[in-house]
Amino acid sequence: MFDKYIVCEDTLKITDQTRTRGSVEVRMPYYRGLGLSMVEGVDLTINGIPVPVEATSFTVHGNTYPMVDLPTVLDDRWEMGEQARIDFGVTEPMEPGELVVSAAVRLRISYMPVPGGGRDTKTFTLA
Amino acid sequence: MDDIVKSGFRFLWQPPHAGDVSTIKRGVSLYSYQEEFFLRTMTLEDCVAHVSSVGALGVEVIPEQSLPGYPKITDEQVSQWRGWMDKYGTTTSATDLFLDTKRHRDRWLTHEEQVASFHADIDLAVRLGAPVIRAIINTPPEVMRDAAPYARDNGVRLLLEVHAPFHYSHPWILEHLDVMHAEGGVGLGLMPDMGTFVEKFPRVVSDRAVRDGARPELVDYIVSLYNDHGDTHALMDIVHYRGGGPIEMGLARQATHFIYRDPAEMLPHMDLIGHVQAKFYEMVDDSTEYSIPYDQIIPVFEKGGFTGFLSSEYEGNRHVQDAFEVDSREQVRRQHAMFATLLGERTDQPSA
């Protein structure tokens, strides 16, 4: 329902000098907030190459979690429309120019018999 | 259907009001402004102010949507909320609860945990001043049964939403009705969602499928079958036989999740109905919802003597946001112009 708003415009940043670490902000495609234990993951793809989940972390309102730990977090939430920051690492440097970022948000919604969530792709221009 | 009404239930076949102004109240669920609230182009106070601006008196709130920090809502948040109710001349008409049975990755929530989840949401409803609570459709009847005493003790009522594709003679609803009748309908009741009265397939949904690349002849087939109130049980199979892809299959699935029932099916249950979610997809002007015949629905509530809130629930945003600017405020304003007319109010709505 909010898939087109998942990857937030103008939020991609390179965060180290080797250009192999970066961050991007994402929103949850859902009309309410959700406990983090029901966020099964945010799968990132950079220029078509999947980023290993172990190389990503998830930050909301100042609290950072390894992505793989989200299913065990019972006392924090991803609020409706809140921009979460995903920090990630890649093996090849992210060179200046266009960079295509895809994010698939996987949610466990209790009243739905099928997996919830959505995906979005946006193109950024790196300096 | 009469046989499922517990004997002794009071029936009001005449509207209790003497004049031509209805006793049905107008309200808005903040669900209606989800697009703008999500994108932070409306604040929570903006939403409340807009409800008031259309002459609606009740604000339905989804705490998990509107109140950051749920379930640990602070006293400051509560007093700010109550301050807005005073400032804008509104009351909290309802809160909406969810039941996260799949909260843990590796196990289902136990019955006791589910009831405890209800108790926490009852506490929050009381703090926010809501008299009724929307219980989500996936709530098991036995959870309703075991949460009812706590609701009664706290002076609130748990209302099971009757949401499409469910309806008043569906086995899942019949199980719930048994529990409600056994309880006496004091702490329990029903919250009909008007999405069970979708007479015409919402064109915002089919138009979106076309924009997404659906084959027009398959869209026409799905829409025509729905609008003829034909048998949609095998619709996904048929669309598959005709070579439909994911877009066409998605539309077919939607068609099996909209339903059109006779609004008069609510009459035997009117004493259990405490609040109404006035779902809508597209107000084409100030008098017509494209799919849902409110001119046929409101007389049923009048006949049944309903005195609760008709609470707007705009759900068109997600179907038009790809190509159009979403204007939830204008959609809500139009629906309330229609309600004011249908309810016999004499006040004129400001035009856009």
Over residues B87-108, mean pLDDT: 97
Q: Where are the domains of chain B?
A: 12-199+261-342, 203-255
CA dist B320 and B203 (Å) reads 10
Cβ-nearest to B102 among A32, A77, A110: A110
Report CB contact under 8 Å: A35, B65.
Answer: no
CATH fold of the domain at A3-126: Immunoglobulin-like (2.60.40)
**Nearest Cα to Cα of residue B297 among B267, B319, B274, B275:** B267
Question: What confidence tens digit (pLDDT) does each residue in A12-22 have?
Answer: 999 999 999 99
Q: Which A positions 46-105 lie with beta carbon below 8 A of chain B? A: 71-72, 74, 77, 79-82
Shortest CA gap B178–chain A (Å): 22
Whether ipTM tops 0.85, in short, is: yes
Round to whole Å and give the CA distance between B270 and B275.
10
Query: Please, which pLDDT band fits residue B14 given cuts at 50, 70 and 90?
Result: very low
Task: Please give the helix or strand (H or E) that residue B78 lies within, else none.
Answer: helix B75-88
Separation of alpha carbons B91 and B76, rounded Å: 18
Q: Average pLDDT in the B242-248 region? A: 96
Q: Which amino acid is at B89?
A: G
Closest residue in B to A111 (Cα) is B138
- CATH code of the region B12-199+261-342: 3.20.20.150
Residues of B with CB under 8 A from a CB of A: 31, 34, 37-40, 62, 64-66, 68-70, 98-105, 136-138, 317-318, 321-322
Tell me what the mean pLDDT of segment A35-49 comes to.
Answer: 97
From B139, B130, B19, select the one nearest B81 (Cα to Cα). Answer: B130
Position A61 confidence tier, pLDDT thresholds 50, 70, 90: very high
Q: What is the mean pLDDT of residues B285-300?
A: 97
Comparing C-alpha atoms, which of A28, A13, A44 is closest to residue A82? A28
Which of A27, A32, A110 faces B65 most closely, judged by CB atoms?
A32
Q: How many CA atoms lie within 13 A of B310 on its CB side?
A: 27
DSSP A17-51: TTS-EEEEEE--SSSS-EEGGGEEEEEEEETTEEP
| Domain extent listing, chain A | 3-126
The mean pLDDT of B172-185, rounded to a whole number, is 98
Instruction: Please name the residue of chain A whose CA is at the shortest distance from the CA of residue B30.
Output: A31
**What is the reported pLDDT for A1?**
81
